[in-house]
Amino acid sequence: MSTEPSDPSEPIMPTTLKVVPEEARQFHYTVGTPDWHFALLLPPRWRPTAGATAPVEPSPPVWSLAQFHDETRASGPEAEVYASMVAREISAADWLEEFFAERSIEVLRRRRIDTPQAGDRLDALTRRPSPIGPIISRWFTLKDGGHDGARILFVEARARESDYARVADDLLLIIGSCRLLQPSGWPFAERLRTASAASPGDFVIHYPQSWSERAVEPRPGEHVVELLHEYRGEPVGQITVVCTRDVTGPEDLMERHIKTLMQRGLTVSRSPIRVMSPFGGLEAAWERREVASEGAVGTDQPPFDVHMSVGRRGDIWYLFALLGVSKARIRTLGGINERAYEIVQRLLRTGPAEALQPPPGN
């Protein structure tokens, strides 16, 4: 199976192997600290490249753990495993997208793969120029968390464009088989904090510790939680959670929130409400994704993203809203904001107090 290009002349991107070669062999990388030990499958004729541990361009700091090559072909296919650390919680997919953007790497196709708690992974096909002709690369990401930062491991398997079709399955075998040998079991880059309420409805939310909870003036019949993300002392993201009974429907609650943004001088776009899969014990859920600016909303990357979801459990309604730096303008900050918003929703617990337990290992 593959994701077919719209242009038949463009490289294919296979997603499954018809058969794993019998001669494929397992390679274990056990150099240095065990945190970075990994294993992958090497196709026949592939070998580790001796002494290939030179660091690549740091920004953020990235280094090469190991390189591999097809020993039967001069200037032939290669693979490389890179490593990086991130201090704030972000998906491996958004991290790799930023890596591509910083280096002006052309992305031909991408496939985001959802994981239950660690955030999206990215499977991508790229093209870049080189002295020996265009290089086609297949990429894949792994992420393993920790209370003091997460490890990002990403694999690049590459070949000249003229050779790519012949070795596409070999490259898929390499990136698809890479795994960490000693994962921590904690999927986040940070510890999580909690906020909760018992009225008007029981709920607990979890959020990364780099975010802070801001005091909110009580509103009759509502419980409101506001979370703030700051970067270099400046606010770059805000998540608002509202729990209330006094609602006529999801659009009513979303429009109330948009009104508060307008009172702050923002102009917010308008998009249809979409039904989404319920989460956190909710019985039904809806969502909207908007953009906002201080003035008319144009098409040239408005400065703010506005994401909203509304859920219902019995007669209790919940709003989850993100206002943050536009991901289209600053991908890393936007990715950190979106990831926190995702965690707040995915780890939501509603219902009787005895059911409101924190995630294990925090």
Q: Where are the chain's structural domains?
A: 2-180, 192-355
Structure token pair of residue 301: 């990357």
Residue 289 has pLDDT above 80, yes or no: yes
Which pLDDT score is estimated for 61? 82
Q: How large a percentage of the chain has pLDDT more than 70?
A: 89
Using DSSP, state whether 103 is helix, strand or coil.
Answer: coil
Which pLDDT score is estimated for 53? 52
Asked if 2-180 and 192-355 have one fold, the answer is yes
For 89-100, write each residue's pLDDT tens digit: 999 999 999 999
Q: What is the pTM of this model?
A: 0.88
Q: How many whole angstroms from its chain centre is CA 147? A: 18
Return the CATH fold of 2-180: Protein Transport Mog1p; Chain A (3.40.1000)
Q: Once rounded to an integer, what is the mean pLDDT over residues 49-77?
A: 73
Residue 272 has pLDDT above 60, yes or no: yes
Residue 219 has pLDDT above 50, yes or no: yes
Which pLDDT score is estimated for 252? 95
**Phi, psi at residue 128, to the nearest 5°?**
-145, 150
Cα angle at 106 between 116 and 162, to 5 degrees?
110
Structure token pair of residue 87: 């201090």
- The CATH number of 192-355 is 3.40.1000.10
Among 39-43, 57-61, 68-72, 138-142, which is the least confidently predicted range?
A: 57-61
Task: Give the number of C-alpha atoms closer than 13 A to the C-alpha of residue 3, restricted to the C-beta side.
Answer: 12
Number of Cβ within a 10 Å radius of residue 107:
15
Which pLDDT score is estimated for 347? 94
For 122-177, write each residue's pLDDT tens digit: 999 999 999 989 999 999 999 999 888 999 999 999 999 999 999 999 999 999 99
What's the rounded Cα separation, in Å, for the pair 94 and 121?
8
For 9-53, write each residue's pLDDT tens digit: 678 888 887 767 777 889 998 887 888 899 999 998 999 986 545
What's the rounded Cα separation, in Å, for the pair 56 and 79?
14
**Phi, psi at residue 294, to the nearest 5°?**
-90, 75
Q: Once rounded to an integer, what is the mean pLDDT over residues 294-298?
A: 67
Which residues are within 8 A (CB) of 128 and not within 5 positions of it... i.e. 6 or more apart? 105, 106, 134, 135, 137
Residue 214 has pLDDT above 60, yes or no: yes
Task: Give the number of C-alpha atoms closer than 13 A to the C-alpha of residue 223, restricted to the C-beta side.
Answer: 15
Among 48-62, 193-207, 249-263, 317-331, which is the least confidently predicted range?
A: 48-62
